[in-house]
Structure 1
Amino acid sequence: MVVERVLKSRPMRDYGLMTLGIALTAWALDAFLIPNKIAAGGVSGLATIIYHTAQEMFGVTVSIGVQMLVMNAILLLIAWRARGLGYIAKTLYGIVLMSVLIDVFASFTMPLATDDLLLAALYGGAVSGLGMGLVFKAGGNTGGTDIIGQLLSRRLPFGVGQIMLVVDAAVTALAAFAFGPKLALYGVVAIFVGSATIDLVLEGIAIDKAIWIISDAADRIGAAVNEEMDRGATAMEATGVYTGERRGMLFVVISRNELDDLKAIVREIDPTAMVVISDVHETIGEGFKGMGV
């Protein structure tokens, strides 16, 4: 019973998710990005540049995993002085496992899409983004630009994401110098695809719609939504800042395949109503999905 509880616990789930995510990211780097000289930003991108430059100029093979471990160790030392031991403990597992798996997978992973760099950038970015999305979903990270962004954002008037983008841009510029502008541009493609995939994993696909309806006939529209669509609606009163007029306002969340039905109801009851529609990545509650874990 104790073992079963431990295996089902949140920490075990998180570490399992992190391990899967790191394995996917390491494989994507070894299969698509590193052998094709695509430096997709961050510590891994810098290590890729050093790896190929050392081979071509000096005939020396410098392990990607060891490089990443050394770079992240330096960053961790700075982070430890700035943020304390608690922050280090959460990051160390991801850094060590990523460094180990990159070298382990490199020994038997066959380079893919070597004759089509665009495919390599797209698939490398997508698979590594999927992996990093799982890592972030588990509350972990693998060091690198994450640490740089979090540290510098405390001292500079910029957000973590902005700083990470600048660091990735610097690595891309270095890749352009080392490998030429064409390969650097493929690196940019991989960065953007990876970023979009991470967002997709963390936020999900927008399958629901949030609707704000401002109308003098808000009560009738709300009743029709309830009766014809079997959906609830939240009613409130809105005041126009310029005119000072008070009008009814409804807030409704529906699935995207119900959107045309809602528009038809509003059009029939009040064609002059203001309707604002936005994407919803996740809806929890009655009529949608449960809270879950």
Structure 2
Amino acid sequence: MYYNILRGGINLKKENITFLDVLTLFIGCFLMSLSLNMFFNPHSVAPGGITGFAIIVNSMTGIPLWVINLTLNIPLFILAYKILSKKDCVKTILGIIFLTLTLKYTIGLSEIHVTDDVLLASISGSILMGVGLGFIFRINGTTGGTDLLGLILNRFFPSLSVPILMGSADCIVVILSGIVTKEIEIGLYSAISLYIIVKISDIIIEGFNNSKSFTIISDKYKEISSSILEELDRGATILKGEGVYTGNKKNVLLVIVSRRQVVTLKKLVKEIDPNCFIIITSINEALGNGFKSIE
């Protein structure tokens, strides 16, 4: 099926944008709209981004969030059009459209007073927003906003990275929320919300599967690797190392295990070589044989 999204037409099939991508993008935008209309906007909490700035403008003028979001994103998209690839263009314009529509059709939820506690509203809204953004980022999507602003400003200030420019824009919005409302607490709630949103979206993107990496230095590496295969049904990789001070050659074992196997592996290694050296590192996600499949 062909969809003429931009002038000249863009083929979603050609750009490898699937129905699942579009559905995920819509769900993400819907969750963002719920967070904005039900929790953030009623309390004037602005957790960064164009949507946060829209909340500030709404508190001053009463203009609906969806109108402000669309008005601000259209010029940003036009300015960033030549910077983006065709695939990114499609996802961006779909994100802008979905967020605008969901903001419009969930506007009635702002009249439902879920809670009068600003902190509770900030946390609840942040969780919804973080999950929504996590879904969108998992498919490399965007709803415009500071993503586009960061790309545009980077062209004028190439020495500053896009993440730094985006973060700076978010900080300005958070500060403005406190200035406009004349309440320092609102600015603080906005800052807390921004932090939670970033953390939640990172969890959604990277997954909950926090595996552990073991780097084991031992002269009994053969016995340890054999026990790992037999007891844990895990593979191991032998790396070649050399001591800087002694110059002695060392064989280093690299092993990735799930969290529930950490204690077992430590006991196993201790039984074989109590004097070995172990480095344990947290891993956000492990993909491949024995773990999650590569998406």
Aligned to 1:47: 54
* Deviation for aligned residue 1:140: 1.1
Gaps of 5+ in 1: 1-5, 55-60
1:27 aligns with 2:34: yes
* Deviation for aligned residue 1:11: 1.0
- Taking the aligned partners of 1:44 and 1:224, their CA distance within structure 2 comes to 54
Partner of residue 239 from structure 2, selected from 220, 236, 239? 236
- Taking the aligned partners of 1:132 and 1:88, their CA distance within structure 2 comes to 18
* Deviation for aligned residue 1:85: 5.8
AA of the residue aligned to 2:31: L
1:103 aligns with 2:104: yes
- Taking the aligned partners of 2:132 and 2:66, their CA distance within structure 1 comes to 17
- Taking the aligned partners of 2:292 and 2:27, their CA distance within structure 1 comes to 26
* Deviation for aligned residue 1:78: 1.3
- Taking the aligned partners of 1:170 and 1:286, their CA distance within structure 2 comes to 45
* Deviation for aligned residue 1:267: 1.5
Structure 2 counterpart SS, 1:134: helix
Aligned to 2:21: 14
* Deviation for aligned residue 1:81: 4.5
1:265 aligns with 2:268: yes
Aligned to 1:224: 227
AA of the residue aligned to 1:173: I
Instruction: Choose 260-269 or 156-165, whichever is displaced more.
Output: 156-165
1:166 aligns with 2:168: yes
* Deviation for aligned residue 1:136: 1.2
- Taking the aligned partners of 1:280 and 1:110, their CA distance within structure 2 comes to 43
Partner of residue 280 from structure 2, selected from 272, 277, 280? 277
* Deviation for aligned residue 1:237: 1.6
Aligned to 2:3: none
Output the TM-score relative to the length of structure 2.
0.88
- Taking the aligned partners of 1:274 and 1:189, their CA distance within structure 2 comes to 40
* Deviation for aligned residue 1:91: 0.8
Deviations 1:223-281 (A, max 9, x none): 22122222221112211234322111001111111111111122222223221112223
Aligned to 2:189: 186
Aligned to 2:151: 150
- Taking the aligned partners of 2:246 and 2:161, their CA distance within structure 1 comes to 38
Aligned to 1:62: 63
- Taking the aligned partners of 1:186 and 1:283, their CA distance within structure 2 comes to 35
AA of the residue aligned to 2:188: L
RMSD of aligned alpha carbons: 2.0
1:121 aligns with 2:128: no
Aligned to 1:251: 254
Instruction: Choose 263-272 or 147-156, whichever is displaced more.
Output: 147-156
Taking every aligned residue pair, what percent have the same amino acid on both sides? 31
- Taking the aligned partners of 1:87 and 1:224, their CA distance within structure 2 comes to 48
- Taking the aligned partners of 2:147 and 2:38, their CA distance within structure 1 comes to 23
- Taking the aligned partners of 2:245 and 2:74, their CA distance within structure 1 comes to 57
* Deviation for aligned residue 1:48: 0.7
Aligned to 1:3: none
Contact 1:206/1:279 (<8 A) preserved = no
Contact 2:41/2:110 (<8 A) preserved = no
Change (3 A) 1:196 1:229: same
Partner of residue 197 from structure 1, selected from 197, 200, 205? 200
1:75 aligns with 2:76: yes
* Deviation for aligned residue 1:10: 5.6
Structure 1 counterpart SS, 2:268: helix
